[in-house]
Structure 1
Amino acid sequence: MKIPRRQFLQLSMAASTLPISSRFASAQSYPTRPVHLVEGFGAGGAPDVVARLIGQSLSERLGNSFVIENRSGATGNIATEAVVRAPPDGYTLLLVSAGNAINATMFKLSFDILRDLAPVAGIVRVPLVMEVHPSIAARSVAEFIAYAKANPGKVNMASAGVGSLPHVAGEMFKAMAGVDLFHVPYRGAQVFPALLAGEAQLYFGPLLSSIGYVRAGSFRALAVTTAARSPILPDIPTLGETLPGYEASAWYGIGGPKRTPEAVIEKLNKEVNDSIADPKFQARLANLGGTPLGGSPEDFGKLISDEVKKWGRVILAANMKLQ
């Protein structure tokens, strides 16, 4: 049977637009089943708290469950690989963090976070606290730098492990301040007992876990590491006030596998931004010591790319190696 040319062209055009229409309709109804939001650092920590906050909000806004899946191990790489290898349908998402940007240089990975992840939206940025044991007499960053220069190699700088955010933040401080500090890595839960005992005298600690010790006077906060002061510690200066250009922070956002439909990403981005704009949600972030991020998928992608470059330079300059 011979089909007239005009009818053939009409059928071809209809066929070519069908996938687009189908994808649009699918995005409009998304999600039709539970969505898994994977985080790679285990239950109870700041990443888990952020994941549950945004997951609850998205569940309420989109009318379907966002299930938080804890896949700890390999400094978040197990969770990340599971997501970038998942079907790109919007039903498996990753809580992306500063750790992902650090890991891009610290590890030989079978995936590329910039190539294999589709950024959705940033959620929150949280400072670290530059804190010292009371045995260190310094009461400002400038005084600490002077003390460290007078005592090269004698100040123990604790971290939560080689390549952790506290470690790379400390290495960047060492380079910018021109000081020689002795790095002592601990397993996460061991850091604060070591600091309390005076085994280590300096720590760039996450605000959420540090604030209680600072308020109790167990440690002295000299600075926060974000570009702006923290609303929780408004009297504590930023490191950048002494070392212009210094910035380090824990940050969290959402990403999915590459080739996730653009319409799904746009829908998720809108709902994340709407969540962040909610005063109740902002108050919950403030309890973490965090400030909202938000923005477009491109904004979040630029943050990830910039952080990969920044921490890559620090890691290579310090010749950091996994032990």
Structure 2
Amino acid sequence: MQRRQLMQWGAAVLAAPAVAAHAQAFPSKPIRLLVAFPAGGPTDITMRVLAEQAGRVLGQPVVVENKPGAGGTLPAQMLQSAAPDGYTVAQIPLGVFRLPYTTKINWDPVKDIRYVINVTGYAFGVVVPADSPLKTWSHFVAWAKANPGKLSYGSTGTLTSPHLTMELAAQQLGMELLHVPYKGSADLMQAILSGQLMAAADSTGFAPQVEAGKLRVLNTWGAERLAKFPDAPTLRELGLDVVQNSPFGLGAPRGTPDAVVQRLHAAFKEAMDHESYRSALARYDMLPIYMGPEQYARFAQETFAREKALVEKLGLGRGS
């Protein structure tokens, strides 16, 4: 018995350096970063800059793969079948925490994702074509009330933050709107510029079109007005107790070793501090929003509970 214990102890001692060496060797090949929205939008553009800088820190490329659709939840779903080795990480938009309340899934967004780091959040708002008769949010609300179900607005997907926030505003103001979902900001901007929609609720990927005089901002959704659009009131200023900035970050598959999570976290945290990333965020009025693994996991748990209440309040859950 004593001899067996000694052998087991010896094996454990020999294995420990091997485990440490494996952690130190990570990564030894490129890492996939699954992004929840299409190429060309603010999420894609900012995440590519972040990935490039993180790859330099890690010594291996971080390769962005766009996986749009399903309200931004496809990357999180893909983590469920990915190896827990750190070579697949995914963007986790807020919509992931609503998924079980709206769709039947066999995994848990809190327990079945290793939360690595939160990196930023969105600046949102509502825009209309520059030649729209809806000159202000007051005009928008009045027209919608006079024409129930006819004021069309687009978002970046069903049950995304733009969709739910608009529906919350509509509920509070007694409006009935016509929602049209798109896969991402690029598609949504094409639709409103071509006259297919009366309005769009989106992150500030609409900024270039506003600056070009093609679109007009009716409101923004942060706690304060955006410096880029100082004339656009916040929802709070318009009488709605709503602030939405939809933080998002990166997750890895459940079971990813702690040492690997910490290595990824350290690399992406360093990348967040790079001037190129902060400049990319500034183009869309986005700000760095940092949370480490433990804080991000707590945020996931709290958001999961809060989003359940919102989905139920709006009557958008399964069976509603």
The alignment's TM-score, normalised by the length of structure 2, stands at 0.83
The one of 66, 70, 91 equivalent to 1:70 is: 66
Listed as ranges, the gaps of 5+ residues in structure 2 are none
The one of 206, 209, 214 equivalent to 2:203 is: 206
Q: Residue 21 of structure 1: CA displacement?
A: 4.3
Secondary structure of the residue aligned to 1:58 is helix
Instruction: For 2:202, give the aligned amino acid.
Output: G
Indicate conservation of the 8 Å contact 2:70/2:158, yes or no: no
Secondary structure of the residue aligned to 2:121 is strand
Deviates more, 1:130-139 or 1:94-103: 130-139
Deviates more, 1:118-127 or 1:250-259: 250-259
| CA RMSD, Structure 1 to Structure 2 (Å) | 3.1
Secondary structure of the residue aligned to 1:112 is coil
Secondary structure of the residue aligned to 1:25 is helix
Deviates more, 1:305-314 or 1:271-280: 305-314
Q: Residue 169 of structure 1: CA displacement?
A: 1.7
CA gap 1:200/1:41 in 2 versus in 1, 3 angstroms: closer
The one of 295, 305, 312 equivalent to 2:301 is: 305
- Whole-Å separation in 2 of the counterparts to 1:145 and 1:18: 70
Residues 184-217 of structure 1, C-alpha deviation per residue, up to 9 Å, x if partnerless? Answer: 3144566446545766444312211x11332244
Aligned residues: 315
Q: Residue 279 of structure 1: CA displacement?
A: 2.6
Secondary structure of the residue aligned to 2:122 is strand
Which residue number corresponds to residue 107 of structure 2?
111
Indicate conservation of the 8 Å contact 1:122/1:253, yes or no: yes
- Whole-Å separation in 2 of the counterparts to 1:290 and 1:247: 14
Deviates more, 1:94-103 or 1:84-93: 94-103
Listed as ranges, the gaps of 5+ residues in structure 1 are none
Q: Residue 19 of structure 1: CA displacement?
A: 4.8
- Whole-Å separation in 2 of the counterparts to 1:186 and 1:272: 31
Secondary structure of the residue aligned to 1:115 is coil
Indicate conservation of the 8 Å contact 2:30/2:60, yes or no: yes
Is it true that 1:290 corresponds to 2:286 in the alignment?
A: yes
Indicate conservation of the 8 Å contact 1:223/1:236, yes or no: yes
Which residue number corresponds to residue 180 of structure 1?
175
Q: How does 1:89-168 map to 2 (within 5 A)?
A: 89-133=85-129, 134-137=131-134, 139=136, 141=137, 145=141, 153=149, 155-168=151-164
The one of 2, 22, 25 equivalent to 2:21 is: 25
Deviates more, 1:26-35 or 1:157-166: 157-166
Residues 126-180 of structure 1, C-alpha deviation per residue, up to 9 Å, x if partnerless? Answer: 21112245544553x56755665566555433334432332112012223x3321
Residues 250-287 of structure 1, C-alpha deviation per residue, up to 9 Å, x if partnerless? Answer: 54311100111111111211221111122332112212
CA gap 1:137/1:182 in 2 versus in 1, 3 angstroms: closer
Which residue number corresponds to residue 320 of structure 1?
316
Indicate conservation of the 8 Å contact 2:31/2:88, yes or no: yes
The one of 253, 266, 269 equivalent to 1:270 is: 266
- Whole-Å separation in 2 of the counterparts to 1:195 and 1:221: 13
CA gap 1:24/1:225 in 2 versus in 1, 3 angstroms: farther
- Whole-Å separation in 2 of the counterparts to 1:93 and 1:267: 13
- Sequence identity percentage: 25
